[in-house]
Chains A and B, each alone.
Chain A
Amino acid sequence: MGEIAPEMEISQYTKDKASCTRISIESYYSKRVTQCAERENRLKKLEEDISARGLSDEEKEEKRKIHHSKETDYLRLKRTRLTVNDFESLKVIGRGAFGEVRLVQKHDTGHIYAMKILRKSEMVEKEQTAHVRAERDILSEADCDWVVKMYYSFQDYSNLYLVMEFLPGGDMMTLLIKKDTLTEEATQFYIAEAALAIQFIHSLGFIHRDIKPDNLLLDARGHVKLSDFGLCTGLKKFHRTDHYRNWPSTLPPDFISKPFESKRKAETWKRNRRAYAYSTVGTPDYIAPEVFQPNGYTKSCDWWSLGVIMYEMLIGYPPFCSELPQETYRKVINWQQTLVFPSDVPISIEAKATIKRFCCEAERRLGNHGGLDEIKQCPFVKRIDWNHIRERPPPIRVTVKSIDDTSNFDDFPDEDLTWPTSTLIRPEEQPGRRGEFVDFTYKRFDGLTQKMRYSDLKKFQQAKKNKKGGQQGTSD
């Protein structure tokens, strides 16, 4: 029996990285077995189909050849290296802390997508490479109404790219800026849809941790889809707990000496809202207090964020907003005293009670134990038809004139739409050269099958046949 090695000193950074990488490796092997089974099923289905149709042996063999050729092409297409030059950049539709979102069109298919561009240097510099694949993993696994669908992900030396479905309805932040507040009926609808989306993410084993209005997108019919899963989570300075380590957590003076009228407060919030979303500094308005504590947090933190959004929808600003993020932090930590409702804004008893049940200790929080089933029992959302909400018309109509209509987004008129050539030149030292971004590339099956049309396949086979004929060998 060998001597046990002394316990090695391992940094928290290494532990976090190891944890995420273990998940990625486990996910890979799970998918590997799944893909094998899927391929077998496709072949089995083909055999059943050609048997049922009473085809001749020659016709059957032809069908098998076409099928095998498609499978081979699929393997090759999985290896095709996408670059930004496969897309035309049409418009900048959003800016985030670490990149931007563009409306793009794929050259070969003409399909419209939203492309999110994230700078690698920001990822590595902030030592958050362990989070970098979280969004990619969730979006590649998710295939349902509640989550933005991702078709491709790829990288070059400077950036990571996520190519997702374009949602022309804009986001909840933009809607709130336009509307100031929502009715209770509208709030019930959007909170219910957001709850269904959050529950779906939790069922996949993820915690979003950055639920806020800018991450709630609206599709062409006005329904909610969740976006932004962790790629930037924890990156913003004020979202990281170490930033607050030396700060006092007592009540902020803002709370005592500056009791704004709610209307003035709402105007201040609205005026600063875009800057907060675009800032690399950010603000902890939507973050649950336990996220800042050393004891760790659970999925429950996402339900807190939903309560903050609900308050903002009804009142016009989030409950802990302040002139400075430091003051917001102190209000969040002291939520027992600072979560108050202004007397001059009408709000129902049920709505107040619901917000208080979302924004309380994690153990007592609405959704903490029973998740969505617990939330469904809440009086505020008792009139929601949970099983058919997505088929119902939304309370606020989204106007979309075409598949590339960007009128529900802000304009960025001075943005340069060309692809910078520097991203295609290999620098001596690249961010992430040690493998932090390896295996980022992804292609969704239906995204690929859109490209390989039957007519292209016929052309391809004809070319193959001609080539074989030219070699003067026997065919096959």
Chain B
Amino acid sequence: MSEPSSSWCNPMAVSTLGSGNLRDALKLPPGEDKNEWLAVNIIDLVNQVRMVFGVLCESECTDSKCPSMTAHGRQYTWTSEGTLLNTSAPQYIDLSLTACQNNVDDENVFPSEIGKQFPTDFEERCQAIMRRLFRIYAHVYFAHVNHFKAIKALAHLNTSFKQFVLFANQFQLLNKEETEPLREIIENLISFS
């Protein structure tokens, strides 16, 4: 098996949808509550990943093709009640997205009633969701970039990841060590904005 094409590292190949002012659209608006802004954006990011992976990539990422959740220089394992599980990539991603969705649907974490307060550890919850979403991007960029080119959706993948990175940087929701597998593409995406 050959190493996946490395053309995604080429700056000229990092195409996006020409989403000007995406950075501005992610900044905290004047007078806005920070947690409320985190909440509405996190939900958007979860939905974007579900569309990018769940609709565009699910037929491509299978147990046989991706027997483990791999990224550049990483292999992720799922921890369930203290036990490490060796899952395939689709299983890992399904568990991960389900966990994210359960958080988003939890009225005690993402309250939807007017007047209800966010939990005191809300920012940590957001960071956990961002870590899970990042790993999905890391796997997709590692294993499925050619598929996105084939279905003419590479610009869409890049744009949704760019939104993800800009938002994470804006509010310090990911640490540098976690994002190492995609450092080069992140640098290229950000420098182009």
Identify the A interface with B (CB < 8 A). 2-5, 7-8, 10-11, 14-15, 17-18, 21-22, 24-26, 28-29, 32-33, 35-36, 39-40, 43, 64, 67-68, 71-73, 75-81, 129, 434-436, 438-439, 460, 463-464
Contacts and interface: CB of A to CB of B under 8 A. Distances in A.
B39 interface: yes
B160 A25 contact: yes
A3 B2 contact: yes
B39 A79 contact: yes
A2 B112 contact: no
A67 B153 contact: no
A2 B48 contact: no
A15 B55 contact: no
Contacts of B169: none
Contacts of A76: 36, 39-40, 111-112, 114
B121 interface: no
A17 B55 contact: yes
A438 B105 CA distance: 13
Interface in B82-129: 97, 105, 110-115
B64 interface: no
B33 interface: yes
B60 to A, nearest CB: 8
Contacts of B112: 76, 79-81
B193 interface: no
A43 B29 CA distance: 10
Interface of B: 2, 5-7, 17, 19-22, 24-25, 29-33, 36-37, 39-40, 43-44, 47-48, 50-56, 58-59, 97, 105, 110-115, 146-147, 150-153, 156, 159-160, 163
A8 B55 contact: no
Nearest to A4: B5
Contacts of B152: 18, 22
Given A79-B39, A435-B54, A460-B115, A18 B22 contact: no
Given A75-B32, A81-B112, 12 more contacts: A2-B7, A8-B146, A8-B147, A18-B151, A25-B48, A26-B17, A29-B19, A36-B21, A67-B31, A80-B113, A434-B54, A438-B54
B192 to A, nearest CB: 15
12 contacts: A18-B153, A22-B156, A25-B159, A29-B159, A32-B19, A36-B25, A64-B31, A68-B31, A76-B36, A79-B110, A435-B51, A436-B54
Contacts of A33: 19-22, 25
Contact of A75 (B36, B160, B163): B36
A10 B56 CA distance: 12
A17 B39 contact: no
Contact of A5 (B56, B105, B146): B146
Contact of B30 (A5, A22, A43, A75): A43
B11 to A, nearest CB: 15
Contact of A39 (B29, B39, B114): B29
Contacts of A71: 29, 31-32
Contacts of A129: 55
A78 B39 CA distance: 11
Nearest to B54: A435
B5 A75 contact: no
A79 B118 CA distance: 13
Contacts of A5: 5, 146
Nearest to A463: B115
A435 B55 CA distance: 6
B114 A28 contact: no
Contacts of B40: 75-76, 78-79
Contacts of A15: 151
A3 B4 CA distance: 10
A2 B115 CA distance: 56
Given A33-B20, A36-B21, A434-B58, A25 B156 contact: yes
A80 B111 CA distance: 8
B146 A25 contact: no
A463 B33 CA distance: 17
A21 B32 contact: no
Contacts of A435: 50-51, 53-55, 58, 97
A52 to B, nearest CB: 20
B115 A464 contact: yes
B85 to A, nearest CB: 19
B30 A14 contact: no
B55 to A, nearest CB: 5
B62 to A, nearest CB: 12
Contacts of A14: 59, 151
B71 to A, nearest CB: 19
Contact of B55 (A35, A64, A436): A436
Given A2-B6, A2-B7, A8-B150, A72 B36 contact: yes
Between B20, B24, B55, B156, the greatest number of chain A beta carbons within 10 A of the residue's beta carbon is seen for B55
